[in-house]
Structure 1
Amino acid sequence: MYLDLSFLTKELQKEKINSFLILQNGKNVFSYYKNKKQSNKLHKMNSCTKSVMSLLIGIALDKNFLQSIQTPVHQFFPKIFASQTDGRKMELTLYHLITMTDGLDFPEFGEWESFAPMVFHHDIVQFVIDRPMIHTPGSHMNYNSGCSHILSAILQQATGVKTEDFAREHLFNPLEIKEYRWYQDRMKINKGADGLVLKAEDMIKLGQLMLQNGIYNGERVVSENWIRSSTAPNLVTYENIGHYGMHWWVNRLNKTRHFSKENNYYFALGFGGQYIIVVPTRNMVIAVTSDIYADSLRPMRIIRENLLNHRQLGLYD
């Protein structure tokens, strides 16, 4: 039975939320746009870009452009690493970058207040690797947008094409994503942390690909094993957000129960309230674009209060 979600529209109208889409069982069951322009607007995904980078790294591994998630980072940037004095940096792998367990001093969610000054540097990869190491790699998760940008630089090296071009061939074309922009840095590297701009209707396609374990329109785009690995809860540093997987956040529907296949949901999160949320047990995907820069977590609280914590989650129960 279909449930009336007009109550949700009223809630969204109170906020600076531009678009809010829900797919369940592959069908559009709810669409909200603040105005007519929003449905065709390319939205800056901010850090939701990181989750797209995760998909691209998985595809590159599937297609043997990258040999292993345990490949040392120094193999890609020998000149930069040659000047490092802390030998622990030689232990850094792709796994440490994609789980943000790199151990580098990167106070993005601290004194930098969600803005990494790497954007002003002529070589972002150099800036990030030059940061002091304060934890053993793999021991501690700390939010680091620099990791995502280095992954983009590695992908371009490994494939011989720009990240944007690799994405077009292996991800966007299979998902029929035709309109987008992907900004780049001064070194002509597509910004792996926050550079992608998409329509909300295409953001939700990415969530549907995840929900369908890497298959879209009957075509295998990325391996099921990568989907499973990248959305497994790893370390937790920010209790108010959740655990971190491989560039996807992971949380529990019922906070009183343990992480499990039946209790987990996972999501991409971007500054200002951009979201791609996947709830496997309900066969549901949610995409949100917002301008709530003072409180990026506000849309998630609305979702938890109005959907995830209530029977409205089961729109077709």
Structure 2
Amino acid sequence: MKRFCFVLGLFVTQGLAAQSFDGLQEAIEGGSFGEIKAVLVSQHGEVLFEEYFRGSSAADLHQVQSVTKSVGSALVGIAHRQGRLRLDQTLGELFGGLYPMNTGAYQNKAAITVEQVLQQRHGIAWDESSIDYRNPANPVQMMVASGDWYNYVLTRPTDAAPGGKFAYSTGASTLMSRFIRQSTGMGPDEFARQELFGPLGIGPVHWEGWSEGGMGTGLTDWPNPDEDPPLGFSLWLRARDLLKIGELYLDGGMYNGRRILDQSWIEKSWTRYSHSGNSSDFTQPGWGHGYQWWIAKVSDPRDREWHVYFASGWGSQVIFVLPELGLVVVTVADNYDYNGPDVDVMLVAGILSDIDPRLDSRFNGSWYNPETDRQGFSMEVLDEFGVVVSYWYTYTDSGSGEQRWFLLQGDVVDGVGEVVIYETSGGVFLQSDPVELIVWGSGRFTPVDCNHVTLEFESDLEPVSGTVPLTRLTGNCYSPPAAD
């Protein structure tokens, strides 16, 4: 799997005109990001861009490579949600029926937990990133040639205690297939069909190892005692189905009113257990690895920062999820021998520049303008009704220090808050005296990023208008809104 570097990608594109969203198709067709086969972009479930390239179509199944790992993590999460699988269960428990886990080379793997495998902090010595995946010396190829993949992984040397070190391992991820088999009595393909793909309307699907010759020429007989397809790779899906998986995570585990995954599982999956503070594999702040998901923080050409969570497979098969923007971006490609600007550069320079956050309940809280003293706003967005209510605490323009406050109320339209601004008069402290609302003007709340909103306003009663830059005081939109 290629390790993306979003910061480098941004640096490379700064000397060029940022690719407009309108020009994205032309850039992909021209090979600016390699041999891209499909790109899909959705925001809050609305598809903004869906194009297929180089003979590909919406019906085509694609070998998604290590995106399979993230799907495997979802299956483990479903089994965990159903009470069938615990995170503290050990390989000794789960593989004891197949191998003598308390003896020989197996013994120091017996205490590794399900969670440590998900985190890729298993302690098994493994380096598949330094050698091309097609090289027979790559440990993935050695595992494939071994005749028993589970046995190969479980008898590898260790170079750290369980939980002590990050080591990205397709071999360790392959063990998730046994987790599903042992806990549910079903193979991962059957369990996925019943509990994930079926509910999401995903299909057809296919399981086959990668081969230069394409579908129908790769491995389909799986050399493990259960004869189950590996959850380290081997899954084939349509690009639209990858989008559904990304949107499931974006929506907190809900799909069409049905809970598939616990939101707490998604939060755990997107927690950086490995990062620049404890692993040399991550040199950039904000980068890390969760439960078979990668994590990054990027800056776009408008100097806005975003958290990115992504499932990534060799050859540029990627699901990018940006919760703060409500955004999912899917790419499938044949970038197996490509070393130029990749889909991370496409995301930063070609997509993010033209995407704005939409006002929703994640913007609820207190806001202020750093340029003004002791003045601020409270904001409440009611997603169910598409309504925004805000209070503006300020002063008169006389310089007397007399306080003044406004009520701002209106609708969320196309992601911004279109409000009427009311001034109040009357009322007595702690008394029931009537308060009169007078229409003072109108305004618009426009989100800039997770922590910044602008208010444009114009008065109907006074010769005043302007723009107020607001900064968040409370709350955050780091996590997806609660879906239930």
Residue 367 of structure 2 corresponds to which residue in structure 1? none
Distance 2:107 2:151 in 1: 16
1:173/1:301 CA distance change after superposition, 3 Å: same
Q: Relative to total residues, which structure has the larger helix share, 1 or 2? A: 1
Distance 2:163 2:308 in 1: 24
Residue 59 of structure 1 corresponds to which residue in structure 2? 78
Instruction: Say whether 1:50 aligns with 2:69.
Output: yes
Residue 282 of structure 1 corresponds to which residue in structure 2? 325
1:112/1:90 CA distance change after superposition, 3 Å: farther
Query: What SS does the corresponding residue of 1:30 show, helix, strand or coil?
Result: strand
Distance 1:101 1:295 in 2: 29
Which residue, out of 66, 69, 75, partners 2:93? 75
Which residue, out of 172, 177, 183, partners 2:197? 172
Instruction: Say whether 1:298 aligns with 2:342.
Output: yes
Which residue, out of 247, 250, 257, partners 1:208? 247
Residue 158 of structure 2 corresponds to which residue in structure 1? 133
1:5/1:106 CA distance change after superposition, 3 Å: same
Amino acid at match of 1:8: L
Residue 313 of structure 1 corresponds to which residue in structure 2? 355
> Which portions of structure 1, spanning 4 or more consecutive aligned residues, are displaced by more than 6 angstroms?
none
Q: Relative contact order, CA 8 A, sep 6+: which one is greater? A: 1
Query: What SS does the corresponding residue of 1:82 show, helix, strand or coil?
Result: coil
C-alpha contact 2:246 2:328 (8 A) present in aligned 1: yes
Instruction: Say whether 1:121 aligns with 2:121.
Output: no
- Cα offset, 1:240, TM superposition: 7.4
Amino acid at match of 1:49: T
1:195/1:39 CA distance change after superposition, 3 Å: same
- Cα offset, 1:91, TM superposition: 2.4
Q: Which one is further off, 294-303 or 31-40?
A: 294-303
Amino acid at match of 1:22: V
Distance 1:203 1:42 in 2: 11
Uncovered stretches (5+) of structure 1, i.e. residues with no partner = 256-261
- Identical aligned residues as a percent: 27
Amino acid at match of 1:175: L
Amino acid at match of 2:308: Y
Q: Relative to total residues, which structure has the larger strand share, 1 or 2? A: 2
- Cα offset, 1:85, TM superposition: 4.6
How many residues in Structure 1 have an aligned counterpart in Structure 2?
306
Q: Deviations over 1:233-266 (max 9, x none)?
A: 22134337941100000001339xxxxxx84220
Distance 1:166 1:35 in 2: 33
Q: Deviations over 1:172-211 (max 9, x none)?
A: 1110012111235123111111111000001100000000
Distance 2:261 2:105 in 1: 38
Distance 1:127 1:44 in 2: 24
C-alpha contact 2:200 2:244 (8 A) present in aligned 1: yes
Amino acid at match of 1:154: F
Alignment of 1:123-202 (within 5 A): 123-183=148-208, 185-187=222-224, 188-202=227-241
* Structure of greater Rg: 2
- Cα offset, 1:166, TM superposition: 0.4
TM-score by length of 1: 0.90
Residue 297 of structure 2 corresponds to which residue in structure 1? 252
C-alpha contact 2:105 2:156 (8 A) present in aligned 1: no
C-alpha contact 1:276 1:288 (8 A) present in aligned 2: yes
- The two structures, once aligned, show a CA RMSD in angstroms of 2.3
Q: Deviations over 1:96-155 (max 9, x none)?
A: 111111111111112465741211121111100101000111111111001111011121
Which residue, out of 32, 56, 75, partners 2:51? 32
Uncovered stretches (5+) of structure 2, i.e. residues with no partner = 1-19, 209-219, 358-413, 416-484
C-alpha contact 2:69 2:233 (8 A) present in aligned 1: yes
1:307/1:160 CA distance change after superposition, 3 Å: same
Distance 2:132 2:52 in 1: 33
C-alpha contact 1:69 1:93 (8 A) present in aligned 2: yes
